[in-house]
């Protein structure tokens, strides 16, 4: 066993042993090892000794070791951010960017893959191996392997700087979020806020040795205050702080505006070096969508269908605010509050009431039961090193055999990136006759337990958990043995949300919800009457929510295609998009783009449309289960066989057609969303 835990690949990461001091020595050692292996492979390629086992496998070996070590560091940086870890994380980004650029531009390796593609033995390879080779050839071209030396070097510099900017953007958002705290001495200002939320805020204050309540911009605090606090001034104070994060209103070192400007300039330059008119064209080159024009047409068509429903939603909200709450003007900090009041008035239930039926242990039991019904697999607690006491590890078992595993990190805390996501700790591959099982990180930011009561989830949080678990199943249920196309690897980005969004649908099935609900005090299951109200309210304000997603998607696509990166005003572009599709217009000081991590620090640049694009696929895929009567093993097995199992080894559209027997249709999405005249959503 290695003395440096980051160099120990015998099992799962030794989180308890890892310190910031381990990072640089481990990365340096792995880079030396990788470069030595690549030199040997170049020599083999020059000598014509290019075969899968002695050329591709050794390269996958060293690339995987480096990616797994750095993936562990990156994961810790996201969930347990400390000054020491952040410092070494940032220090190693340029070295890694330089290496991956070298690898992508290596003409010797490129020639080796060309030789594999041209060899008579290519047709005898498995479909997965043929796809790996085709993807590698494409990626070498996109990495600049065919460019002149000077342009190669410039592209490498650009990619290295972009990696640094992405990390900087995310860190600024985290720091700006964590920097805010509002302390209240009295509960009077929290009138309307549920008791369990008040208890959480009081506990946060006590943890600092203070009386009263501590409010933050973490979502488990921010959302319920915006949704329930009767004090309008308090809502506005929190809204303003949230809306102006990482912008010019705060410390200059946390302002993301310069980061965004430089990033937009650099991605445009990188696209130009590779022969694309703009970055959006480059981004779409590896996706299902064919062009920015096709994406914007898709979004505008969806907006055309959804906007009348959004206008109706907004009008109803304004009328209710005026007539029932004496609010003559509906401000941005009123929308969540008035929406909750309208929901209660119209459907006679609140999120807080529903939340009492979804304690964490019961929800997990129900989720695992659904997975068992669909795929015949069992989920059982197991032992593994973890990075925080809140984290739990599970095995995924099929026919008595462990086929995968996952970590579950559910609660919000300081130093943890906001949002919810799935990432891989390691992927499935077969090497020397042994199969490496895939392992996933499943991360959320829900409210933690308070006192001796379990954590309680809103129905939206249950949906989020199912969503991320869908990503995890895509990763863990693969049967592909080639790492580069197993699980989510190699899947087109605008199809990668299909399995996650697909899982959300089961959160609206009565047999499922009745099986994962139990009142936190009485243990009674969710009453059918309350479920029926939830179903009636399922598409409450769905028009508004849909155009909001279209707003983000259209802004993203236009920003990375037609925008003037040098002097353009992205707030003016966003205002233009809002005038076209939105119904809720925020105040002018709202700096949403400055914290839009998906497109400035994540993988969604010129790809945010993927959520709506994949939703067409996922809604249509779920319709197959509706036609078969709900969650069932036969349809689940086909979905596993044709979608989850094949990973990125074939195009996503082919996988969809194999499962559904036809091309996808938008009809199910519109029907589920209640955006068809005189329609009702399916339960």
Cβ contact 557:296 at 8 Å: yes
Q: Which two tokens stand for residue 539?
A: 């598409």
Give CA–CA dist 432/62, Å, rounded. Answer: 15
Q: Which two tokens stand for residue 425?
A: 């700790």
Give CA–CA dist 226/370, Å, rounded. Answer: 33
Phi, psi for residue 646 in degrees, rounded to 5: -85, -15
The string of DSSP letters for 316-378 reads: HHHHHHHHHH--SS--GGGHHHHHHHHHHHHHS--HHHHHTT-BHHHHHHHHHHHHHHHH-EE
Q: Which two tokens stand for residue 424?
A: 């891989």
Q: Report the chain's C-alpha Rg in angstroms.
A: 25
Residue with the two structure tokens 């600092």: 208
Q: How far is CA 503 from CA 315, 464, 512, 615, 665, in A?
A: 32, 10, 12, 11, 18
Give CA–CA dist 328/79, Å, rounded. Answer: 43
| DSSP code of residue 456 | B
- Please calculate the CA angle 428-432-437 and round it to the nearest 5 degrees: 20
Q: Which two tokens stand for residue 54?
A: 């002695």
Counting Cα atoms < 13 Å in the Cβ hemisphere of 302 gives: 32
Q: Which two tokens stand for residue 645?
A: 């199992």
Counting Cα atoms < 13 Å in the Cβ hemisphere of 284 gives: 24
Q: Which two tokens stand for residue 239?
A: 């809204």
Q: Which residues touch 651 (CB under 8 Å, ≥6 apart)?
A: 288, 492
| DSSP code of residue 430 | E
> Which among 627, 366, 675 is positioned nearest to 510, based on CA atoms?
366
Active-site residues, by number, are 468
Give CA–CA dist 154/205, Å, rounded. Answer: 51
């Amino acid at each position: 066993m290695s003395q440096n835990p980051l160099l120990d690949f015998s099992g799962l990461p030794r989180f308890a042993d890892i310190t910031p001091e381990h990072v640089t020595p481990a990365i340096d050692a792995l880079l030396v090892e990788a470069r030595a292996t690549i030199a040997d492979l170049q020599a083999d390629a020059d000598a014509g000794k290019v075969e899968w086992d002695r050329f591709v496998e050794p390269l996958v070996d060293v690339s995987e070791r480096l990616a797994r070590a750095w993936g562990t560091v990156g994961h810790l940086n996201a969930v347990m951010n400390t000054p020491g870890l952040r410092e070494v994380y940032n220090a190693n980004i340029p070295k890694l960017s330089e290496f991956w650029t070298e690898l992508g531009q290596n003409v010797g390796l490129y020639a080796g893959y060309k030789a594999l593609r041209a060899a008579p033995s290519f047709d005898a390879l498995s479909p997965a191996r043929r796809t790996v080779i085709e993807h590698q050839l494409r990626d070498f071209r996109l990495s600049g392997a065919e460019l002149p030396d000077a342009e190669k070097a410039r592209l490498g510099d650009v990619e290295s700087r972009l990696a640094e900017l992405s990390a900087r953007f995310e860190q600024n958002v985290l720091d700006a979020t964590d920097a805010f705290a509002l302390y209240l001495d009295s509960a009077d200002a929290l009138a309307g806020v549920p008791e369990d939320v008040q208890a959480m805020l009081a506990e946060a204050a006590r943890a600092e040795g203070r009386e009263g309540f501590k409010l933050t911009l973490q979502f488990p605090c921010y959302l319920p205050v915006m949704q329930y606090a009767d004090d309008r001034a308090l809502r506005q104070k929190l809204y303003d702080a949230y809306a102006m994060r990482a912008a010019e209103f705060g410390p200059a070192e946390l302002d993301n505006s310069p980061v965004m400007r430089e990033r937009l300039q650099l991605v445009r330059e990188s696209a130009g070096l590779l022969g694309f008119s703009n970055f959006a064209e480059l981004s779409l080159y590896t996706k299902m969508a064919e062009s920015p024009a096709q994406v914007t047409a898709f979004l505008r068509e969806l907006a055309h269908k959804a906007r009348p429903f959004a206008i109706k939603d907004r009008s109803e909200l304004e009328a209710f605010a005026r007539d029932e709450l004496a609010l003559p003007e509906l401000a941005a900090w009123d929308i969540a509050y008035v929406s909750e009041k309208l929901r209660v008035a119209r459907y006679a239930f609140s999120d807080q009431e529903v939340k009492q039926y979804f304690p964490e242990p019961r929800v997990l039991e129900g989720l695992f039961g659904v997975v068992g019904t669909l795929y015949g697999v069992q989920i059982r607690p197991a032992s593994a090193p973890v990075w925080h006491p809140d984290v739990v590890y599970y095995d995924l078992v099929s026919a008595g055999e462990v086929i995968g595993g996952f970590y579950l990190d559910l609660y919000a805390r300081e130093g943890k990136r906001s949002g919810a996501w799935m990432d891989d700790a390691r992927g499935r591959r077969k090497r020397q006759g042994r199969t490496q099982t895939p392992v996933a990180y499943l991360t959320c930011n829900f409210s933690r337990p308070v006192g001796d009561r379990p954590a309680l989830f809103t129905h939206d949080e249950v949906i989020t958990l199912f969503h991320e678990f869908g990503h995890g199943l895509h990763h863990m249920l693969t049967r592909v043995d080639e790492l580069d196309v197993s699980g989510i690897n190699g899947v087109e980005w605008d199809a990668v949300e299909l399995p996650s969004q697909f899982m959300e649908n089961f959160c609206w099935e009565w047999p499922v919800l009745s099986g994962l609900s139990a009142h936190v005090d009485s243990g009674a299951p969710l009453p059918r009457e309350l479920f029926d109200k939830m179903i009636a309210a399922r598409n409450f304000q769905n028009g508004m929510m849909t155009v909001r997603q279209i707003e983000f998607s259209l802004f993203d696509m236009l920003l990375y295609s037609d925008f003037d990166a040098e002097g353009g005003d992205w707030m003016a572009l966003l205002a233009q998009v809002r005038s076209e599709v939105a119904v809720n217009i925020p105040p002018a000081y709202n700096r949403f783009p400055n914290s839009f991590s998906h497109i400035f620090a994540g993988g969604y640049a010129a790809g945010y449309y993927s959520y709506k694009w994949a939703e067409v696929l996922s809604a249509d895929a779920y319709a197959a289960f509706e036609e078969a009567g709900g969650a069932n093993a036969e349809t689940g097995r086909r979905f596993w066989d044709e979608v989850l199992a094949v990973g990125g080894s074939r195009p996503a559209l082919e996988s969809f057609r194999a499962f559904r027997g036809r091309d996808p249709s938008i009809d199910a999405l519109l029907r589920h969303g209640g955006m068809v005249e005189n329609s009702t959503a399916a339960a």
